[in-house]
Every structure is written in C-alpha cells, then in structure tokens.
Structure 1
Amino acid sequence: MVLLLVISVFFIAHLYILQNKEIPIFSDRIVLSYLLNFAMAAAILIFIQSRFNKKSSQTGFIFLAGSGLKFLVFFMVFYPFYQQDGTMSSTEFAAFFVPYACCLILEVAFLSKQLNNQDY
C-alpha cells in the first residue's frame, strides 16, 4: 500500500514537472516505466515477505536478483526505444530512473526494517 501511494505521488509530481516545462507528459514510455517498476518492486517485496521467515539468509540474494531483473527489463524494453535516435535525453533517462530509484529506496527501506527486526 505504501509503495502504491509513494509511486503515485512521484508519478503525479513527475507529470506536473513535465507539464510546467512544456514537455509532452506521456512521452518516453513514462506510464509503462512507472507500471513496470511498481509491479516488479511489489513482486519483489511480496516474495521477500512470503519467504522471509523460512530462508532469511537468502533475502539479500532475492533482493539482488530482483534488481538484476529490473536492469534486464530496462535493457530489453526501454533502452532500444531510448536509443533509436542515437542518444538518451534527460527526459528519457528520468522517465525510467525516477520510478526505479523511488521503488529501490522503498525496497531497501523495507528490507532494512525486516533485517533489523530479525532475531538471530
């Protein structure tokens, strides 16, 4: 629930900034980027939560695998589109990096909280 709320706030703020700079707000696959980053982060968090008590020593590896998956999706889905003109503009970079960073920070905070509350 927190993830959905935070990513929604970032999405609205991102669109607001683009609109104020008179940049097309739905260009650069921004909606797809936010949706995919949210879906992958939610899946990673749900998977970690469901497996945490059983194999807590592997939680970090699950997190790293999820991060690797996100990079793979970027290079398969977004990078070819962004490189069609030979360069990646700052708006293209922001369209992927802002939701990625937002989700990554929330994932790290969640994982950190889980690990700090663990009894050894």
Structure 2
Amino acid sequence: MPKSLPKFSLLFLLVLTITYFVHSTLISTATLENQTNILNFSYIFNGIYTLCLVIAIILLLKKLKDQIGFIFLAGSFLKIGLFLAFTKFNSLEIDKSVFLDFFIPYLVSLVLEVLFVSKILNNIK
C-alpha cells in the first residue's frame, strides 16, 4: 500500500464533505422542498465506492499492472450500475430534478480518483 493512501483518503473525504455542505446549502436555499434522501445517499455511496475502488486498484497493481486502466474503467461503469440498482431497491426516484444530486458527487469522486490513480501509475517502474 502506498504511503499516500491515508493522505488521499483524508483529502478525498475533506473535499467530499465540503462539497456536500455547499451542495446541500445551495439546495435548501434555492428550493422549498427538502428532499435530501437522494443527496445523502449519493454522497455516501460515491465516497465509500471511491475509497474501495482506489484500494482495490492499489492491491491489484503489482499483479495486473497492464490491466489497471481496464479495471478502473470497469469500476467506473460498475459504480453507475450499482448506484442505479441501489436507488431502485431503496425506492429513491431518479429524474431530471435530482440529476445534479447524483452527478456532482460522482464528478468530484471521479476527478479525485483519476488524479490519484494517474499519480500512482506514473510512479510505477
């Protein structure tokens, strides 16, 4: 495990938490409806999944060095599929009005995943 994993985890959780509070504040001031179920679920799901995906990539790095890009890509597709499945099982509605409630934490998580994984891959010899 790289020494930078705790640093990434702390930075990732800090950025995701700040984004959550800004996002939820904007939603509560902009609308009268207080539908935070999908928002809370989206941030928690993306946070946990991103940390698990990064740890899995680190664990598989030495054995499957040439396939890490495909594993990362498959993990990203799986994230969307699992999110939609969990929302369906938990009776959470996904429509145009809550698209940003999913997309913002997904985008923040994806950007930080890409930056960290690319940094790891650049350090491999």
Tell me the TM-score normalized by structure 1: 0.83
Structure-2 residue corresponding to 1:77? 86
- Pairing partner for 1:57 from 49, 59, 66: 66
Show the counterpart of 2:122: 116
Please tell me the root mean square deviation across aligned C-alpha atoms, in Å.
Answer: 1.9
Q: Does 1:21 align with 2:30?
A: yes
1:81 aligned counterpart, secondary structure: coil
Size of the alignment, in residue pairs? 114
Q: Which residue of 2 aligns with 1:98?
A: 104
Which amino acid letter does the alignment assign opposite residue 54 of structure 1?
K
In structure 2, the gaps of 5 or more residues are 1-9
- How many Å apart are 1:9 and its aligned residue? 0.9
Identity %: 33
Counterpart of 1:6 (choices 6, 12, 15) is: 15
SS for the counterpart of 2:36 is: coil
Q: Distance in 2 between the 1:49 and 1:110 partners?
A: 10
Q: Are 1:89 and 2:96 an aligned pair?
A: yes
**In the aligned structure 2, how far is the partner of 1:30 from the partner of 1:3?**
18
Whole-angstrom distance in 2 between the partners of 1:63 and 1:35: 20
SS in 2 for 1:54: coil
Secondary structure in 2 matching 1:101? helix
Contact 1:28 1:82 in 2 (8 A): no
Q: Corresponding residue for 2:4?
A: none
Q: Give the distance between the partners of 2:34 and 2:111, measured in 1 at CA.
A: 24
1: CA distance between counterparts of 2:27 and 2:72?
31
Label 1:105 to 1:25 Cα distance change in 2 as closer, same or farther (>3 A).
farther
